[in-house]
Every structure is written in structure tokens, then in C-alpha cells.
Structure 1
Amino acid sequence: MPAPGFFERQTIAKRNTTLLVFLFTLAVAMIALAVCIVGYLVTRSETTGLPFHHWLLSSHGLITAGAVILLIVGTSGIRWIDLAGGGERVARMVNARLLDPSSQDPDERRFRNIVEEMAIASGVPVPQLYVMDNETAINAFVAGYTPNEAVMVVTHGALNQLTRDELQGVVGHEFSHILNGDMRINVRLIALLAGILAIGQIGFFLLHSSSHRHSFSSGGRNNGRGVLLIVGLALAAIGYLGVFCGRLIQAAVSRERERLADASSVQFTRNPEGIGGALYKIGLKSGYLEHTSHASDMNHMCFGESTKMAFSRLLGSHPPVDERIEAIQPGLLTRLRSRMRDLPADQVTAAGTRAPEQTSGFAGSTGFSQQEETSIAATTGTVTQAGELYASKLLNRLPANVRELLYTRSGAVQLIYALLIHDLRKDTAGNLLKYTPEAMVLRPDPALIRRFQPTLEREGDSIRLPALELAMPALRKLDPDERQALIRQVATMAEADGRITLFEFALHGFLQRHLASDSSRAVPVRYRSYRNVIGDLNTLFSLMARAGTRNQAEANTLHRQAVASFADRQGADNLALVEKVTVSSLRDSLGRLNQLSPMLKPAILDACAQCVRHDGRIAPREYELLRIVADQLDCPLPPLS
């Protein structure tokens, strides 16, 4: 069964958010009811033997229920605020180390190369990379609220026990979570589970306190010990109910997403034995995280189960490993077992399902025929074969000194200036570089800028957006004030000559989208039909029609065809080609179109692609225009051949 498309997965993610809220509310109600039952039994004699339903509505019952709900919601709220730092906060929570881009460790360099290839091939910024040095098990996870600030964390065991193909399968699985919108749910689930488990933690604390009092009381005369023991036992028992509810929520929200991520990984890498081999090794050794106290909290986020639990088939956040392998490809488990038996015991971990080692490129990218031309929307949020080959070749062509520059804050900033002045005359470029912001890291450095010029000349327009994606981890290291200053600096330089080109608009929009203070905020769905945004569609299609044609008559015809798919006949007749689309009007229109329901966006992308494909090809600058639209609609667009 093929994996659902990007827009379907986005819809599933939004539906899972609703499910999560419902299950959390249900769990809070169950725990509050259980505590009220305990309170009723303890205070029954004091309330003249009222029936439970009457007691529940009395002051005792309402105070008890309110206190429990306040405790759970308050604990979740505190954890929610604590996790406001997004993916980086989660990485620090598990004591993961930020991967040094200049690391010479071959396993770490291989990991970074795989992630960068996948990022370029899928059209998303490169996530920040972290390693859990103390964990020898095989596991990984991604965290964050949006792809703009995603982090990817792997264990040391995953780096040194998996082959390149297997590690690539794991990375593909995690990229699926980035593209599908799963990360926000995962981080929120940590906060919600903290509240659900709070009652049990209080119960265990009271049990410990009663035991402590007993040890130091004289002759066991401490009357408070018995009360503490009873209350502690009751709350601990209710805590187990909370644990059960929490695990049930994890399983309900996570299992289907894990199956989708496995299928997407195979779709991305075109190598089922890669992810299958990684899962098989987890089955042999387990993926349990032994050196973090948050293993249970992280269980639903990880590639494999991160902690051992009872009733794993019912409460596990992931389907059993054998089931996952067979779901990837029937008969794969048998082949992997046979291959492992043929290897010496000391080579199972080191070699496993090793295919011929590659220095770059996606496993299995050869031997697969190029797919028939398909819609642009169908490639959104995925990895195409052409994108794989392009990403691999691009990284191999980038000079080592240029690539290293992109990993530093100053180098990433100078790349932006190099892109801004690349097509300008020397005198104009020199005037732009005279703008000197206060922050030292943002000041133009002509020497560094010149180091980018040969690569930009050789690769042309097609290198511009991928280079920005590679530079994003370094740009995210800028302080919030520096980020805002950089965005303002780009706007000032773009407007200095009195006109803004489409690339300048794309560059400023890209930085605004990925570095602004609200870049991690999810855009709400406000429109569920095209009716309220038909004027914005008219603005967009006017621009695209002009970009894809050479004369007014062709532009009018193409515009009319594009608009006709979104408005009734009378409405389409009233929508004329906009003579001049300004940058501000385009920005406003794209902002409103991004508030459409996900399932309404693919038709817009396909209509835009139809316009620029009018002459039978998509030029690099036309592709950049498509990327502007896709990026502003939160639709990662892979490279096009």
C-alpha cells in the first residue's frame, strides 16, 4: 500500500491533534474521577453518608475534582512552557551534543552528508544535528514545532552500528516526521503526558515520605504515617491508571504515524533493506535509552521503543519490529534472518545488511527508471529520484572551503550578501556592501564574499536555494536580535536600487519564513474553500502567467485557463489579468493562501506549474518562482530536473 501524499499526511497530522486533545481530556476526567472516589471513601463518614453522585456535587467533591484538574493542567502547562524552546530544548533535555560541522569523525561526517542530501532532495532546510554520546542502543528522533527549527538526534550506537544504507533508512524515516507535521504533536505530547503522570508521582513521593517517617519515628507512634501510607498507596494506584492512559494515548497517536514514516522512508530511499536492516538490528539489541531519565517521555518520538514496558503489543508507541519489517516488504524479515545467519557472530553488528559502501548519493538510486512526468503537487514533501541525484552531485561539486564556510555564522551571512550582489554591476554591488549593521557578524566582508563567487558563477541560479538550505543551521545560531537585523539588512539592500527582483523577494521571504521570531508558529486554517481567496489566486496566477509566456495574448489565455479551475464561469469572466503584480500584493496574497486547508493547496501548485511549463520546460528562475510560492504555502518542493 503506497504511503499517503504530503497533503494527506498534513491532514492526518491535524486530525491527530484533535484526537490528542480528546484523549487528554478523557484521561484527565478518568483520573479526576478516580481521585474523587478515593476522597469519597476517606470522607464518607464526615458527609453523613451521601451517595457518591451527590458527594461529587458537594463542596468536598468539587474541590477535590478541581484540585486534581488544576494539578494536571498546571503541570502540563509548566512543561509546555519549558518546551517552548522547541527542538533544541528537547535535545538538551536528553543531554545530546550538538554535532560540530568541522568534525573529522567518519561516522559523524557520513551522518551529516546523508542528512544534507535528504534535505536538498526534499526541499527543506537542513536540521540541526545532535548525538547522544552515552547511548549505545540504536535509536533516533526529530523534534521541533516546524521544519524551520527542527533538530535531528541520533544515538552513538546508531552512528557506529549501522551501515550507510541503514542509517539512510533511519534518516528517511525521521525526515518523514519533519515533512508530515508530526514533530509538533510529539513535543506537545511530552507536555500533556507530564500532567497525566503527575498524580502517580505525588503518590510515590508520599509512599517514600511515609517510609522515611517510619524509619525515624520512635516506636512507630507516628499517627501521620498511616494516613500518608493510605493516601500514597491510593494515589500511586491512580498513578498507574495515569501511566496506562498515557501509554494508550502514545500508542493511539503514534503507531499509524510510525507505519507511514516507514513507508515514506522506503519511498525516499528506494531501498527497503536499508530501514529493514536498521529495524532488524534494533530487534537484536533493542533501542532502549539507558542513560536518560526521559526515555519514557520520549518513547513516542523515537525510531524504535526507547523504554521497556508491560503489554507492549497493546501500549507500545510502535508496532512490533517484526511487523514493521514485514509491512515494509513481505518476505524481507526472512531474507534478513538468512543473511545474518551467514555472517560470523562478531560481524552482525558491524556489517549486518551492508551494501557496497557509497561516499554519497542515495542507496538504490540507480536501477530505477525515471518516473513519468507527474504533477508538481505529487512531488511535494517527498524525495524524487532526480532530486536524489541532484543533491548528491551538488554536494560533490561544492568546494570543501565553500561548504565549510556555510557551517559558520559569518560564512552563512556572507553567502546571503553574495547572492544579493551576484547579478549586479561592481559599482552597484560596492554601494550595497557599504551598509554596515551594528552587529559585527552581520557586517559585509568582501574577502569572504569573493570566495563564493566562483561557485555561483559555475553553478548558476540552480545553486542559490540549495545553498541557503545548507546554511540554515548556521543562520539559526544567530541571536534573535541578529536574525531580525539580518532580515532588515536584506530588505534595505534589496530596496536600495528602487526595485525588488523576484529573487530578492524570494530571499527576503525565505529568511522571514525561517528566521523570524514567529517562524515556529503553526499557521491556522481559516479558509476551507477558494471562494474567499479568489482575488489572491487571481494575483498569483497573473504573475505566473506572465512568467510562463512571451506576449500579452498568451498570458491572457494562460491566466484564464488557470483561474477557470477555481471560480465559476461568471466569476472567472470577471477576473482580469493583473497588469502589474507588486511585491507587497504578492506577499499579502501568499499569506492568505497559506491559511487554506492543506488539501486545497495542491491544485494551486499544479496550476502555477502549468503556467511556467507552458513552453515545455521549467527554467531555473521559473523553478525559483515555484519555490517562492511553495515555500510561502509551507509546501517543501524538491529540486526539478
Structure 2
Amino acid sequence: MNFFERQAAARRTSTRLIVLFSLAVIGIVLAVDLAMFVVFGGGAGGLALTTIVTLAIIGLGSLYRIASLRGGGESVALQFGGVPVPEGATDTKLRRLRNVVEEIAIASGVPVPKIYVLEHEAGINAFAAGYSPSDAVIAVTRGALEQLNRDELQGVIAHEFSHVLNGDMRLNIRLIGVLFGILMLGLIGRKILQHGGGRGRGAGAVLVAALVALAVGYIGLFFGRMIKAGVSRTRESLADASAVQFTRQTSGLAGALKKIAAGETGSALAQRGDAEEVSHMLFGDGVGFSGLFATHPPLLQRIQALEPSFRADDLEQLRRRWRADPPSASDETPASGAASERRSPLPIAPVLLPAAAAELSLTPPMVAEQVARPSPDDYRRADSIVASIPDDLRDLAKQRDAVIPLLLGLLLDAEPQVKAKQRTEIQARLGADTATAADRLKVERLDPLHPMLRLPLAALAFPVLRLRPRPGLDAFMDTVHAVVNTDGRVSLFEYCLGRLLEVQVRESLDPSRYARFGRRKPGNVKQEFATLLAVVAQAGHENAADAQRAYLAGMQRVLPRDHLPYAPPAAGALALDAVWEPLDALDPLAKQVMVEAITAAVSHDNRVTVAEAELLRTICSVLHCPLPPMLERS
């Protein structure tokens, strides 16, 4: 199942969730009406009032919880007492965690998420939360940092990134809000009973109503657990498979699961009340559910999917061994049982970046297959990419005061006249110092930068950019918009990178507002396709006839029965302002065809330079189809 199929499956799951929630609400309303009729009697008017009150409580409860999660992944991490991992962390385990997260983010083609540690949790666990990659948070427990070696931590983080990329994370956070409503009656009944229900003539009736609410609350709890279990189990197995595909070896992820199964701390969380609410989001079972309510497949089953020869007896041997000598993060030998193979990753050869003028070999189906599906080679390349970024630029990407000039420097045009106008726009909005710093970085550090390092540098800078206050981010977005719209001659890459920054900042500021699964079909956005493919074809071909052929190759992929003549817009890249939102609202499977169409236009002349490949990656990222770096395959 590829990225687009997983997105489509997540959308279908969202629909199924609505149906299950509706059935749960109907069941609760009927139970309340029946209980009130048996206890108090009453006619149709009384039952109608009871129904309305019950629906209002459930609806308001869900709306309240959804509103409390508007902040996205960060609000969930903070609810658990998560502590952000600073950019310049000196703790070796925190540095290792940051390095692993950064490498996997760059290999996946998404901005680096915020990283949190649940310092007071001794169990091995983790979760990803957020509405989109732009507001994603990766949180791990202190127990995971203390007990997992690098390979095992890498397997856990790769598992969580699967949820980030495939739409699971968005569904998970919505599930928290929706299910809270059907638990409201039980919470209200419990609170009333805790405070005695008051005194006076109506106290008895209040206590009876509280008991009814508490009893019905257990019905809501039953439905809530069933819904979470039904939604979560299959996706956890798929995330395990994605993590193995990404990291090229099973020993890391299997080792983490063995340490949960046989270690003393397991994966249980100390905050059991909060853990139940997010049990469907966790890497391992944080509450202790089993059977019908289990949100994860059994640990032994998950391990055996990775190591078929592993048996329950091997797990018992590990328990006995670790009682005497508990595992730690410093042990780099993969955790294994007596009957399991001691497998190690395949030898990793250093990966060199291609020459800036190199030409890559790619096909539309190959690119579509790579979207949000990083491979082991991508992880190796990400390590090489991070190492290739000059140390001083990496340091600037981690400094609050330097990150804005750095990102604006990436957007400045090579043409002096255009760049002068861009400097004026920056100075008018952010001051002369910022404009001067951006220009200096452009000339001294960014112009010589390899084209393949620009997007990763922006990805590294994004977590620091998000730390700025909202007025500062609003001013930054306004400046980015002005810079890329200064002149129609701004390069297509600079325009698209600016647009990508705008999209990511906007989504990080209002995560819940922009989270959606698209439903449009290609036939509803014909003109938008024509505009995008015409601009891409024109940018990649100096000869008008070649550009027209490239345009037609792309249109043949996406709208083979339609004839829209090649008509490159006079505004050039700026004409794309009108296409992003309609194209981003495409159905997931239609987006797969869209990616193939864009690739067909870029690669029509069988010559795809590194710069063109990076342009393709940028366009895909704007349309929420993250593409790993270095597209060539041996």
C-alpha cells in the first residue's frame, strides 16, 4: 500500500469513524431515554427533552475537546507534561534523538517536527501528534531514551513518521476530540456523586440521575474503546512494516518491541487517565488493554512479523536475563532471544551528492511510488545531506535571530535588479538589518550551496522559525509573499520555495483549520492542471516547441480525453497562486496521477537536472505529497 492508498484508506476510516460515532450516540441516547422512563416515567415530551439534553451534552463535549486541541500536536505533548528538546541540547541521549529525527525528516521530505520528551515516564513509548507535518510533534518517553540503543530508537521514530506521513496522525487527534463527547455523561455523573448531589427535596432525584449518567457513561466508555481498537490495530501493523522498509533492518524495531515485552518497565504510562485518551496514538500499549479493546496487536505477534523464528520461550529467556542485567541505551547489540537470528544492517557505503550539473534518471511511476515512502537509501542519503551542509549554516538554522535572514536569503533572486527590489520589500517590513543580512548570506554562503541542500536547510530551520511569536510569523509570511511576488521574473524554484514556507507557517499557526482529506477529481480542476503544467514545461525548456511537447506529455497523464491547448500564462510563476488550493483538495488517488503528470512534464526531454529534481520536490511538498531527496536509483 503506497502513500496515496494509505491517505485514501485514512479518509475512508474517517468516514467509518463518523458512522461508528453516530451509532454510539444513538445507543447512548436510547439508554438514557430508557433509564429515565423506567425511573421517572413520563410521556413523549419528557423523553424528547431528555434526548435533546443528552445530544447537547455529547455535542458540546466533543466541540470543547476539539477546540482544546486546535494547537495540534504540541497541545497533546504538553498535556502529558512533555518537555521540548532544545536545539543545542548537551545531553548525549537528547542529541542522539534530535539527530535521528532530523535525518528521518530530511529523508522523508518533510519539515523537522518539534521534539518532546516525557521526562517522568519510565516505560518505553512514543507518539506522533498533529494535523499535518507542518505542526507535527514527535514525543518519546525518558524510558525509551534510557533503554533503547540507536538502531532501536531509529526503528521507533521511523514507525512514528509513518503516522506523520500517511494521515494516521490527523485521524488520531480528531479521534480524541470526537470520543470525548460520548464520555461526558459518565464524567458528569461521577462529579455529582463525588460532591454528594446536594441537599433538599430534589437531592434524591439528582442522585438517581447521576447514577443513570454514570451507568450510561460506561456504555460510552465501551463504545469509545471499541472504536479506538477498530481504528488503530491495522494501522500499527502497517507502521511497523513501513519502519522496517525505511531502515532496511528488522533488528532495531524488533529490539524495541522485545524490551517492551520482556523489560521491567514495559510500555505502560504513569498517567493512566490521560494515557487511555491517547492509547490509540502510542507506539506501545500504554494502558494494558487486551482482547476486543486492544489498540495494538499482541507484542509477540508484532515481533514475529519481524523475526518469524522468535518464540514465546525466547521472550521468557530475555525476561530472566534482563532481571539480572537490565538493558540500556549504551548496549549497541540488538536485543535477541536464543532462537532469533542476530541480524545486523547491511554494510553502509558513504553516499556522495551528485554534481550540481548532473542529470538524474527518473520516470513518473517511480516518482509517484517514492512519495512519502522513504527507502533505506534515502536514509543513507539524508545522513550524507546533513553532513554536507556547512557547519556555519547549520548553526544559523538553529539560532532564533538568524533563521529569518537565512530563509529569506534562500528566496533572493540571482538577477541583481530583481534582488534589489526584494531587498526593498524586506527592509520595508523587517528592517534594514534583516535585508542586509539576507543579502550577505545569499552572496557569501547560499549561492555556492549545492542545489540539493536548500530544502534540507529550510527543513532544519523550520522548528526554530516556529518558536517565534505569532506577530513575528505573520510579518515573516507577509515578507515572503512580497519577496516572491516582487517581479514576474522570480525563478520558479524561488517562487515555489516561498510558497512552501507560507504553507508550512500557516499550517503551524492554525493546524486544525487546514487539516483535511481532499475529495476533488481531476475533471474538476482542468484549468488548474493546465496552468501548473504549462508553467513547469516553460521553466524547463528554452524551446517553445519542446515546452509544448512536455506540457502535452503531462496532460496526457492526467486528462487524456481532454484537449486544453498549451498557453503559458503571461504572469509566469505568479499565475500559480490560483492553482495550489484546488489541486491540494484533490482526492488522494488523484494526487498520485497529478505527481506522475508533473514528473512527465519535467522529464519529457529525458534530461532532469538536480535543480529540476529539487523543483519537483518543492512542488510536491506544497501539494502535501512529500518526496525524498536524490531521486535517482541505481
The bucket for the TM-score relative to the shorter chain is 0.7 to 0.9
C-alpha separation between the residues in 2 aligned to 1:341 and 1:74? Answer: 47
Q: Which residue of 2 aligns with 1:527?
A: 520
8 Å CA contact 1:340–1:348 kept in 2: the answer is no
Deviation sequence 1:378-424 (CA, Å, 0-9, x none): 00011133321221012223344432321232221121132234735
Select which of 31, 36, 40 maps to 2:33: 36
Select which of 612, 619, 638 maps to 2:602: 612
Q: How does 1:161-176 map to 2 (within 5 A)?
A: 161-176=147-162
Secondary structure class of the residue paired with 2:195? helix
Query: Are residues 1:405 and 2:405 paired?
Result: no
C-alpha separation between the residues in 2 aligned to 1:352 and 1:332? Answer: 24
Q: Which residue of 2 aligns with 1:603?
A: 593
Tell me the amino acid that sits aligned with residue 35 of structure 1. V
Structure 1 pair 607/224, CA: closer, same or farther in 2 (3 Å)?
closer
Tell me the CA shift for residue 509 of structure 1: 0.3
8 Å CA contact 1:365–1:389 kept in 2: the answer is no
8 Å CA contact 1:132–1:154 kept in 2: the answer is yes
Q: Which residue of 1 aligns with 2:52?
A: 66
Select which of 13, 18, 34 maps to 1:16: 13
C-alpha separation between the residues in 2 aligned to 1:249 and 1:356? Answer: 35
Deviation sequence 1:576-599 (CA, Å, 0-9, x none): 353756223223223322221110
Count of residues in correspondence between the two structures: 608
C-alpha separation between the residues in 2 aligned to 1:579 and 1:195? Answer: 50
Select which of 2, 7, 10 maps to 1:5: 2
Q: Which residue of 1 aligns with 2:339?
A: none
Tell me the CA shift for residue 209 of structure 1: 3.2
Q: Which residue of 2 aligns with 1:639?
A: 629
Task: Indicate the larger mover: 181-190 or 486-495.
Answer: 486-495
Deviation sequence 1:328-354 (CA, Å, 0-9, x none): 342245797498479664444216983
Q: Which residue of 2 aligns with 1:303?
A: 283
Select which of 576, 583, 599 maps to 1:586: 576
Select which of 321, 345, 360 maps to 1:364: 345
Q: Which residue of 1 aligns with 2:387?
A: 396
Could you state the TM-score of these two structures normalised by the residue count of structure 1? 0.87
Tell me the amino acid that sits aligned with residue 427 of structure 2. T
Q: Which residue of 2 aligns with 1:264?
A: 242
Q: Which residue of 2 aligns with 1:554?
A: 546
Secondary structure class of the residue paired with 2:489? coil
Secondary structure class of the residue paired with 1:296? helix
Select which of 161, 165, 178 maps to 2:164: 178
C-alpha separation between the residues in 1 aligned to 2:502 and 2:395? Answer: 24
Tell me the CA shift for residue 564 of structure 1: 2.5
Query: Are residues 1:26 and 2:11 paired?
Result: no
Secondary structure class of the residue paired with 1:286? coil
Structure 1 pair 82/325, CA: closer, same or farther in 2 (3 Å)?
same
Deviation sequence 1:165-212 (CA, Å, 0-9, x none): 1111110111011101112221111112221111112222233334x9
Q: Which residue of 2 aligns with 1:50?
A: none
Secondary structure class of the residue paired with 1:85? coil
Deviation sequence 1:452-485 (CA, Å, 0-9, x none): 8665355422111111111111111122222221
Secondary structure class of the residue paired with 1:103? coil
C-alpha separation between the residues in 2 aligned to 1:329 and 1:229? Answer: 55
Tell me the amino acid that sits aligned with residue 623 of structure 2. L
Percent identity between the aligned chains? 36
Tell me the amino acid that sits aligned with residue 364 of structure 1. P
C-alpha separation between the residues in 1 aligned to 2:348 and 2:391? Answer: 30
C-alpha separation between the residues in 1 aligned to 2:116 and 2:539? Answer: 42
Q: Which residue of 1 aligns with 2:66?
A: 80
C-alpha separation between the residues in 2 aligned to 1:496 and 1:430? Answer: 7
Tell me the amino acid that sits aligned with residue 186 of structure 1. N
Deviation sequence 1:230-283 (CA, Å, 0-9, x none): 444333222221111110011111111111111111111112121111112112
8 Å CA contact 1:413–1:475 kept in 2: the answer is yes
8 Å CA contact 1:270–1:364 kept in 2: the answer is yes
Tell me the CA shift for residue 428 of structure 1: 4.9
Select which of 257, 268, 271 maps to 1:279: 257
Tell me the amino acid that sits aligned with residue 386 of structure 1. D
Query: Are residues 1:196 and 2:186 paired?
Result: no
Tell me the amino acid that sits aligned with residue 477 of structure 2. I
Query: Are residues 1:252 and 2:230 paired?
Result: yes
Q: Which runs of 5+ in 2 are unaligned?
A: 336-343, 352-360
C-alpha separation between the residues in 2 aligned to 1:380 and 1:513? Answer: 18
C-alpha separation between the residues in 1 aligned to 2:322 and 2:227? Answer: 42
Deviation sequence 1:119-140 (CA, Å, 0-9, x none): 1000000001111111111111
Tell me the amino acid that sits aligned with residue 454 of structure 2. R
Q: Which residue of 1 aligns with 2:212?
A: 234
Secondary structure class of the residue paired with 2:427? coil
Q: Which residue of 1 aligns with 2:559?
A: 567
Tell me the amino acid that sits aligned with residue 533 of structure 2. F
8 Å CA contact 1:525–1:597 kept in 2: the answer is yes
Tell me the CA shift for residue 100 of structure 1: 0.9
8 Å CA contact 1:148–1:514 kept in 2: the answer is yes
Query: Are residues 1:419 and 2:419 paired?
Result: no
Tell me the amino acid that sits aligned with residue 301 of structure 1. M
Tell me the amino acid that sits aligned with residue 552 of structure 1. A
Select which of 133, 155, 160 maps to 2:119: 133
Query: Are residues 1:243 and 2:221 paired?
Result: yes
Structure 1 pair 615/369, CA: closer, same or farther in 2 (3 Å)?
farther
Deviation sequence 1:79-100 (CA, Å, 0-9, x none): 1111111111111111111111
Deviation sequence 1:589-640 (CA, Å, 0-9, x none): 2332222111011122122223323344421220132123212221001102
Query: Are residues 1:576 and 2:556 paired?
Result: no
Secondary structure class of the residue paired with 2:116? strand
Structure 1 pair 62/497, CA: closer, same or farther in 2 (3 Å)?
closer
8 Å CA contact 2:228–2:295 kept in 1: the answer is yes
C-alpha separation between the residues in 1 aligned to 2:113 and 2:119? Answer: 19
Deviation sequence 1:21-44 (CA, Å, 0-9, x none): 111111111111111111011122
Tell me the CA shift for residue 153 of structure 1: 1.0
Tell me the CA shift for residue 72 of structure 1: 1.2
Tell me the amino acid that sits aligned with residue 14 of structure 1. R
8 Å CA contact 2:129–2:169 kept in 1: the answer is yes
C-alpha separation between the residues in 1 aligned to 2:215 and 2:37? Answer: 16
Q: Which runs of 5+ in 1 are unaligned?
A: 48-54, 358-362
C-alpha separation between the residues in 2 aligned to 1:393 and 1:422? Answer: 27
